[in-house]
A = this chain, B = another copy of it.
């Protein structure tokens, strides 16, 4: 196995993970969860769509919720490119790669490019959005988890090694990765554009599906406070995992399932990774911190469940990587 080579002079300039578009069954229920528990701010509610942003964000939205009467799905994950010119270059790049790339109109966004990656993940790119006031210092209005900004999303898919190579060619840098036992292939990849460990995380599972999207928050105090608030407001069992500390990436996290089962992470403790000499960190599967630094393993639902993309077949992973779930851990203990 070799890890793909970094591309320091990318064909167009993706700057960061930008937004996620989900469908939900009850917009009012979702609004309550995402504002009172997670602490996002509402930018607009228009017809069947609710636009939310983090307290720190000046962009119009980082989370879009649309009402559905069907199965809740993830319509699309969005990235920012720096300039309109980068959009044009992106269009040319994907077209040259044989992918269907289409310019579309999306409310509150600048010109927007739709592409589906070769693995089935529906992507969206734009260079700008409408500007909203940052609420960073409106401390008296902060609620619950005080979600500050969208940081990354994690995609489950059958071919991490392949997807990793695809995204690295576009300038994503690999910050950390996990290999199989005999290092035949990559089973988890942390990819970044914005100078901290991840904009896009890829994990080996049946997919493509989105595992979670993650917002930063301020501190450990808030990670526990959001759980207390969740409990008070009837979402005690929505706390699916944590608070805890990851091994790879080092994030201090808590995971929630929203009323439709979509998974959101709040976390702290990023590190900066910008310099050219920073080599990717490799995690062997037997590393004691491969999963987390302390506490019990994640339950099976956290490991295996995710949200589907529309009209995309979910296929099994190319390699089977055994994961010690909470269920297996407790059973082994007897």
Q: Is the CB of B225 within 8 A of A137?
A: no
Q: Is the CB of B131 within 8 A of A232?
A: no
A50: B residues at CB distance < 8 A:
none
Select the stretch in A117-125, A177-185, A216-224, A312-320 that faces chain B.
Answer: A216-224
CA A144 to CA B195, docked complex, whole Å:
26
Contact status of A232 and B139, CB under 8 A, knowing A194-B195, A221-B219: yes
A163 interfacial by beta-carbon distance below 8 Å: no
A204 interfacial by beta-carbon distance below 8 Å: no
Contact status of A236 and B295, CB under 8 A, knowing A224-B252, A326-B330: yes
Q: Is the CB of B137 within 8 A of A276?
A: no
Contact of A83 among B232, B239, B276 (CB under 8 A): B276
- Chain B residue nearest to A86 (CB atoms) is B276
* A130 smallest CB distance to B (angstroms): 8
A229 interfacial by beta-carbon distance below 8 Å: yes
A174: B residues at CB distance < 8 A:
none
- On chain A, which size bracket covers the interface? 35 or more
CA A232 to CA B255, docked complex, whole Å:
22
* A267 smallest CB distance to B (angstroms): 12
Q: Is the CB of B243 within 8 A of A294?
A: no
A69 interfacial by beta-carbon distance below 8 Å: no
Contact status of A15 and B274, CB under 8 A, knowing A8-B83, A139-B229, A239-B295: yes
Q: Is the CB of A272 within 8 A of B224?
A: no
* A151 smallest CB distance to B (angstroms): 9
Which A31-63 residues sit within 8 Å CB-CB of chain B? 36, 56-59
Q: Mark A130-151, 1 if CB is under 8 A from B, else 0.
A: 0100101111100110001100
Which A82-141 residues sit within 8 Å CB-CB of chain B? 82-83, 110, 127-129, 131, 134, 136-140
A16 interfacial by beta-carbon distance below 8 Å: yes
Q: Is the CB of A294 within 8 A of B227?
A: yes
A227: B residues at CB distance < 8 A:
244-245, 293-295
Contact of A131 among B278, B295, B296 (CB under 8 A): B278
Q: Mark A218-256, 1 if CB is under 8 A from B, else 0.
A: 111101110111111101110100011100001010000
Q: List 23 A-B contacts (CB under 8 A).
A: A15-B195, A16-B272, A83-B276, A128-B276, A129-B277, A137-B228, A137-B245, A138-B232, A139-B225, A140-B144, A140-B233, A194-B195, A219-B220, A220-B221, A220-B223, A224-B245, A224-B252, A227-B245, A231-B292, A232-B293, A236-B288, A237-B295, A296-B299
Closest 6 CB pairs of A and B: A231-B293, A231-B294, A219-B219, A236-B294, A139-B228, A220-B224
Chain A interface residues toward B at CB < 8 A = 8, 15-16, 36, 56-59, 80, 82-83, 110, 127-129, 131, 134, 136-140, 143-144, 148-149, 194-195, 218-221, 223-225, 227-233, 235-237, 239, 243-245, 250, 252, 268-269, 271-279, 288-289, 292-296, 299-301, 326-327, 330, 333
> A140-B233, A228-B245 known; 20 other A-B pairs, CB under 8 Å?
A8-B82, A16-B195, A58-B273, A58-B278, A127-B276, A129-B275, A131-B278, A140-B229, A218-B268, A218-B269, A219-B221, A220-B223, A224-B243, A224-B252, A228-B293, A230-B294, A231-B289, A231-B292, A239-B294, A296-B299
